[in-house]
Amino acid sequence: MGLLGATAIEDKLQDGVPETIATLIKANINMWVLTGDKQETAVNIGYSCNMLSDDMNEVFVIDAKETRNKMKPGSLLGTDPVTDLLTRTEMKTFIVPKEVANGSYGLVIDGHSLAHALEENVELELLRTACMCKSVICCRVTPLQKAQVVELVKKYKHVATLAIGDGANDVNMIKAAHIGVGISGQEGMQAMLASDFSFAQFQFLKRLLLVHGRWSYIRMCKFLRYFFYKNFAFTLVHFWYGFFSGFSAQTVYDEWFIAFYNLIYTSLPVLAMSLFDQDVNDLWSLRFPELYEPGQCNLYFNKKEFVKCILYGIYSSLVLFFITYGSTYNSVQSNGKDISDYQSFALIVQTSLLVLVTVQMGLETAYWTAVNQFFIWSSLTLYFSLMFLLYSDGLCLLFPHTFKFMGTARNTLILPQVWLTILLTVALCALPVIVYKFLRMEFQPTKVEKIRWYPRSPFYLRASSRRSAYAFAHQQGFGALITSGKNVKSRAPFGFGDNYSFHT
């Protein structure tokens, strides 16, 4: 038989895959590979993309062929080696003790062995063993088994899972995960149509997680903290006011302020923060993958942070009410008019509250843009504009039952002691936050704060980097000849002609 021709197919990794996986591993993200390729190909892929390395203590390989050979009659091991690996403690070679599980192990298991390991009596042991390994590769698996592995992690670990694939056989896995990512490639568009996010190359996953995913988590946590705080401070003032009003259901604020507080006055600044805020820029987020870990530990919004919001809201409401109450108690103007009435008190409290939550928004914002500035100043401007409009004499005369605060803004805000009360109230409420942030940054800074103060390379002006135009040598040069003005070419020796070449 003669060989007429041969064809070889090379399955190459996309650009940036090893670097992306290495970066995600540094971010404390567990990477598992679920592939339909055979074992040798899967292991080679593991080494090429840095999931497996020679520095590992051991790479456990569970092969179905070896399993069938050991289960033949006359074999020393008459039971299923997969079950033995996961349940028997006598096999010291394959058991990874918890005290030495330092992430330097790898696990490679094929589809037939995985089918036994996914049985109900041993699936938990499979997950425990796999989680003690640095890398897990499942080869020769079916689309159903890919989805079963994802469901297994979701069932016992209670963590967020992400599945990424580029073919129709990855659709079940993508749908089973919390977040599905599809890659457009040569295997069709099925994975992209079934995914939550889609892009062209695997390396874009790094930016999706470490930049946009982390920013989205931080923005959402800041939004929730600010939302709970501003509403606790807003609501609890009514509680303290009830002790002085005999719990008569009288509101401490004007009814129009209550209607516009969340709808207009405080909605735009928090919207801008939720869209544009970032603790560090994208380059530093990619350079320091460990910044992703606080989000995995849910450090930015948890029960502790929620309790902080409640306590800070209680403190702010106490200051807002009692400072204003003390400053207006039995107070009169220079002309003898009383300013300790209910309407003046309500106006001072609601103005102090709005200025306070705006200052708190500024303290929470880490990245300022023109949109943030515009929304914050627009909210304050809109508040004072609507206040003077709603408290004007014209509206109060036309609709006396709807607009009851006639002339209150004009008569109250012209007093210096009112603005001093607002300033004192805002300062007392914001001072604990400023002191806490300062002490934490000085004595127990977070990873983000350390990186934000990471020393940058100094910036030099272009003029300071000019060359001096001086050259130094150990031998005598031709300076005198050059400055003499003589023609060197005309004095060239006979026979050399124009064959000189000068190298500088």
CA distance 442 to 498: 72
In sign, the C-alpha dihedral spanning 244, 246, 247, 250 is: negative
User: 471: which DSSP letter?
Assistant: -
Residue 180 pairs with which residues in a beta bridge?
A: 163
140 annotated binding-site participant = yes
Residue 107 pairs with which residues in a beta bridge?
A: 60, 136
- For the stretch 436-440, contacts whose Cβ atoms lie closer than 8 Å and that sit 24 or more positions apart, written own/partner, are 437/363
- 50: region left, alpha or beta (phi > 0 left; psi from -120 to 50 alpha): left
Among 264, 288, 226, 273, smallest CA distance to 27 is for 288
Per DSSP, the residues of 118-163 read: TSTTTHHHHHHHHHTSSEEEEES--HHHHHHHHHHHHHHT----EE
154 annotated binding-site participant = no
CA distance 117 to 178: 23
User: 332: which DSSP letter?
Assistant: B
54 annotated binding-site participant = no
SS3 115: helix
Per-residue three-class SS string for 435-461: HHHHHHHHHCCCHHHHHHCCCCCCCCC
37 annotated binding-site participant = yes
As a 3-state breakdown, the chain gives helix, strand, coil percent values, each rounded to 5, of: 55, 5, 35
169 annotated binding-site participant = yes
What is the amino acid identity at position 161? T
What the block records as the tokens of 139 is 């080869």
CB 45 within 8 A of CB 31: no
166 annotated binding-site participant = yes
Per DSSP, the residues of 206-230 read: HHIIIIIIHHHHHHHHHHHHHHHHH
* C-alpha distances out from residue 330 to 251, 339, 345, 374, Å: 21, 8, 12, 39
- Which residues are annotated binding-site positions for ATP? 35-37, 140, 146, 169-170
- Which residues are annotated binding-site positions for Mg(2+)? 166, 170
- Which residues are annotated binding-site positions? 35-37, 140, 146, 166, 169-170
